[in-house]
Chain A
Amino acid sequence: MLDPSNIPAVILILLITGSIASYYLTCRSQVLGENLVTVITLVVFGLALLLIPPINRGETVESAYSFLSLPLAVSFRVDGLSLYMGLLISFLWVLAARYSPGYMSHSHDRPRYYAFLLLAQATNMGVVFAADLVGFLLFFELMAITSYFLVAHEEDSYALFAGNKYLYMSIAGGLGLFFSLLITYHLAGQTAFGQGPLITEPSSLAMAAFIGFLVSFGIKAGMFPLHVWLPDAHPAAPAPVSALLSGIMIKIGAYGLFRAFFDVFGVELIREMGLHGITLTLSVITILLGSAMALLQDDLKRRLAYSSIAQIGYILLGLSLLTDRALTGAVFHIFTHAMMKGCLFLCAGAIIVQTGKRKISAMKGIGLQMPVTMICFTLATLSMVGIPPFNGFISKLQLAMGALDAGEPAYVFLLILSSMLNAAYYFPIVITAFFAAPEENAGLKLDAGSGMTVPIGILAALTFLLALGPYNLPLQLSRVISGGFMGL
């Protein structure tokens, strides 16, 4: 039996070797290569599941070995939040891998795409499993490079422009993290997570470190005013990559901020220095700006991209309120948003592949032509607006409760306002799709094959299914994580 402490390393090694193997296999046989990629992602998901029992017992899984020498050795550590993120990453990657063959069937350079798909997963898993800031930075930087090749995959001028914007902003983000890492190490003499706060005294250096973290993770998360790469990168990337970018990679930014708040600074120092006020203000602007900009977009993927900005604002809001329930809501919203936005982007991809349509105004009657896709799309939008019993409702409820706990009822109104904006920019798409008369090919059934619809269906089902049962694993994990961070 595989010792849980070795699982992170095994996952990374599997993904890296799998990436090389899939490159050569896809060169020789397209179908075999694609199946290999799906199998590898499935195995990784299975391995991640094996980490649940020890975490449920309240243990932290720490790797017995350390790797590399850099200036400091890199090691792995899995706590509740790492596991939560790891499960999400590996799950969404399975669906993206399953979905890709259909979407990429007409694309070029597929071997490269699949190789980088697995490498990008490796770097994402590495980020969340890293035991300290040095390991975090290592994988964070590699993530920027590997995902660049995915974002720019189409290689048209728009994709190259968007990819470059993404790459250079990511590198700036990496440098910001390096800056904070140096200061943290200078002040604390170590950078390991889970050792209690690393920085304990308020000082100008601590402030500088916080700004570095904020810039770095703000860029990754798409926080205002560092979001500028996001509305270009998401639409330009292939749909499965958009789903991963929006579902996972921007959450890595949020994950980094969680680590900065609770493992580097600690709640007390954050309160003492008033740092949460900065993120609180920025998150409010992020929510409102994202929603308002989404309203203006006619390109479906661009609208989804701006919506992602607004949604990441929720997560930052929940973090900045610094109450237990708000934090639970923020953590749970990572799951909520991964499922629903993943679903929406995959739907958008299916529409593009099957009809070539990107503009919302051109999607009249598309719900009659692609019923399965658009029903799933509708379910995801319902979750987006926050209607019970969808996950979106649960996260918003937790966030609202958390806002009240913090004595800030104004943020409840912000949530309501944002929900209404969500409704205002999502429901017209659904209404156009089902109730407007199609302009052409009225009777055709255009739904994509099962390779694409099954991942879409699974994500759509997950926007509400877990909320119906008695055992809601993501919510339970969110509560445990938040309780741990808030010292309860």
Chain B
Amino acid sequence: MEMTTIFTNWLPLATVLLPFLAGLALYLIGERKPGLINPLVLASTFLPFLFAASFYPPVSAGLFPSLALDILPPVGLSLRVDYLSFYALLLFATAGLIVSIYALHYLGRDEAKRHRFFAFQLLVLSGCYGVAAAGDFFTFYLFFEFMSIMFFVLVAHNQSGAAIRAAYKFLIMTIIAGVTLFLAVAVVYWETGTLTFARSGLGLENSNLVLIAFIGFIVAFGIKSALFPLHLWLPDAYSEAPLPAATISSMIMLKTGAYGLIRVYGNIYGIEHLSETDWSYYLLILAGFTILFGSIVALAQKDLIRRLAYSGIAQVGYIILGIALMNELALVGAAYHILAHAFMKGALFLCAGLMIRESGSRAIADLQGIGRKLPVTMICFGVATVTAVGMPPFNIFISKWHLGLGALAVESLVIVLILLASSMLNATYYLPIVTRAFLGAGPGSAPGNMEAETGGTNPAGSTKTGNYHRSRLPLLSEAPASLLIPVIILALGCFVFGLTPVNLPLELIEKGIALYF
């Protein structure tokens, strides 16, 4: 095991606290001073991003910034940014910043209760950052609960009947998750007297109580990361929540469940201990089933957002699968997939937002020929799509490579075949959207073009002149930069890490996972 050192640092706390305080402030004064919303949201997502990035030099050198707070005795709160925490924190902070920039424009000034949405978005982000930076499971639990409950308000934002129902469904399942997680954490604390993430395994003895705690962890994180059959809240919540909220859930919140599970396996039980039991085997089966289930159901969806939602269920299944395989390669693949899926699905969601904004419909059938109006958006969508299929040099190739090798390490060809089948299904439900956006609707013949040209409903508000001769004026009907740049950054994130001479996130993950073995 590599030698690591810890030093006290207040920046992790600032990272978590800043969006929290900004969120509170926004909720109190945002309605009276709507002009404050944009600068406040930008500042309180940009600074945490900077703070998180500033941890790179010490963390990569094996120095973990940490902070112990003597509140809430007897356990106390602690923050600790080790390899995996840093990886998750920077990823979440990046995603939070990008989605916030997009959301500020997407939910424009006429949005009802705009200040409430952004206030709670900041609170959710604060919870997410706290989950990533937590130094022990108690702290993790508090932030995890906080994040989940705050998200309720985002789901219910539209206040339509369907939105409220979806939010209730979400809330009920969240509460179940919270209760089971509390039970599990309590058992672990009672058995070992500590909950820290600083050790690879707390030395739990096998007993029924410990098994129940394990099941509690699985149920709690299974609900959060939409593991079959605990995924029920997700499709409704995604299709009713405002698009940026669904994006945050997909990019960050689903991953907190997966991240928590990695912590349970690596830090609480210890890989060595779990390898002696067959508990993980059942999780493996569930994960394999989740992958196939999510992919097949996604195929049947005609609504773009619901298709993305079910695809997300399948993709998070990969992460759970990698964790349940319990070997180094598979765990690296699982952890890398957190990033791979965040960028991929984030790009898809934000692109979907722009497509819906242009076409005015969420039905996939209405998106024919949209690539001629939104070439940049659809190229980004296409990049994310081939990422989902797992083609090199895109990110998911890298995670599938590790997952596949991890499956071969336990001599399971079946799991490799499940991954392949899911990739093929990904291709069949994503690629047609792209190919039909670009091909089969010649210039000027795209449905809806006539209406748009004659100045029909155009939420972008941009003036469109002439026809869509995209070889000359490709950007005319594209969304404004504040919506397009987040999309482009996410699409670039789908492959840049594999192009650089050293894959930085992968390097960090390998160091972090190596501590468990």
**What residues of chain A have their CB less than 8 Å away from a CB belonging to chain B?**
26-27, 68-71, 108-109, 111, 134, 137-138, 141-142, 145, 148-149, 152, 155, 157, 160, 163-164, 167-168, 171-172, 174-176, 178-179, 182-183, 185-186, 205, 208
Contacts and interface: CB of A to CB of B under 8 A. Distances in A.
B440 A70 contact: no
Contact of B439 (A160, A175, A178): A160
Interface stretch (B73-81, B87-95, B427-435): B427-435
A69 B424 contact: no
Contacts of A155: 439-442
A141 B471 CA distance: 27
What are the 3 tightest A-B residue pairs by CB atom distance, in nearest-first order? Answer: A186-B408, A138-B392, A27-B471
Nearest to B431: A167
Given A27-B472, A155-B439, A182-B408, A71 B398 contact: yes
Contacts of A157: 440
Given A175-B424, A178-B420, A141 B440 contact: no
A172 B425 CA distance: 10
A444 B428 CA distance: 49
**Which among A137, A152, A164 has the greatest number of chain B C-beta atoms within 10 A?**
A164
A71 B402 contact: yes
A208 B420 CA distance: 14
Interface in B373-419: 386, 389-393, 397-398, 400-402, 404-405, 408-409, 413, 416-417
Interface in B439-482: 439-443, 471-472
29 contacts: A26-B471, A27-B472, A69-B506, A70-B498, A71-B398, A71-B401, A108-B443, A141-B391, A141-B392, A145-B386, A155-B440, A160-B439, A164-B432, A167-B431, A167-B435, A168-B428, A171-B389, A171-B424, A171-B427, A174-B391, A175-B390, A175-B424, A178-B420, A178-B423, A179-B417, A179-B420, A182-B401, A205-B413, A208-B413
A85 to B, nearest CB: 20
Interface string B4-22: 0000000000000000000
A171 B503 CA distance: 26
B392 A137 contact: yes
A185 B442 CA distance: 45
Given A69-B500, A160-B440, A175-B424, A182 B472 contact: no
Given A70-B401, A134-B392, 11 more contacts: A68-B498, A69-B498, A70-B392, A149-B439, A168-B427, A168-B431, A171-B427, A175-B390, A175-B420, A182-B401, A182-B408
B499 interface: yes
Contacts of A69: 497-503, 506
A68 B443 contact: no
A148 B435 CA distance: 10
A37 to B, nearest CB: 15
Contacts of B431: 167-168, 171
Given A68-B498, A69-B500, A186 B392 contact: no
Contacts of B440: 155, 157, 160
**Which among A71, A141, A148, A183 has the greatest number of chain B C-beta atoms within 10 A?**
A71
B400 A178 contact: yes
**Which among B392, B420, B424 has the greatest number of chain A C-beta atoms within 10 A?**
B392
Interface string B478-517: 0000000000000000000111111100100000000000
Contacts of B408: 182-183, 186, 205
B340 to A, nearest CB: 12
A220 B506 CA distance: 32
Nearest to A71: B401
Contacts of B499: 68-69
**Which among A141, A148, A176 has the greatest number of chain B C-beta atoms within 10 A?**
A141
B397 A152 contact: no
A141 B391 CA distance: 7
A174 B392 CA distance: 10
Contacts of B392: 70, 134, 137-138, 141
A167 B386 CA distance: 12
Contacts of B439: 149, 152, 155, 160, 163
A71 B395 CA distance: 10
B401 A111 contact: no
A25 to B, nearest CB: 11
**Which among B397, B409, B502, B503 has the greatest number of chain A C-beta atoms within 10 A?**
B397
B391 A142 contact: yes
Contacts of B441: 155
Nearest to A135: B392
A242 B420 CA distance: 30
Nearest to B389: A171
A131 B386 CA distance: 24
Nearest to A65: B501
**Which among B391, B440, B472 has the greatest number of chain A C-beta atoms within 10 A?**
B391
B205 to A, nearest CB: 35
A363 to B, nearest CB: 29
Contacts of B506: 69, 71
A23 to B, nearest CB: 8
B1 to A, nearest CB: 24
Contact of A70 (B398, B428, B471): B398
Contacts of B420: 175-176, 178-179
A27 B498 CA distance: 32
A179 B423 contact: no
Nearest to B436: A160
A182 B393 CA distance: 15
Contacts of A111: 471
B493 to A, nearest CB: 15
Contacts of B398: 70-71
B375 to A, nearest CB: 10
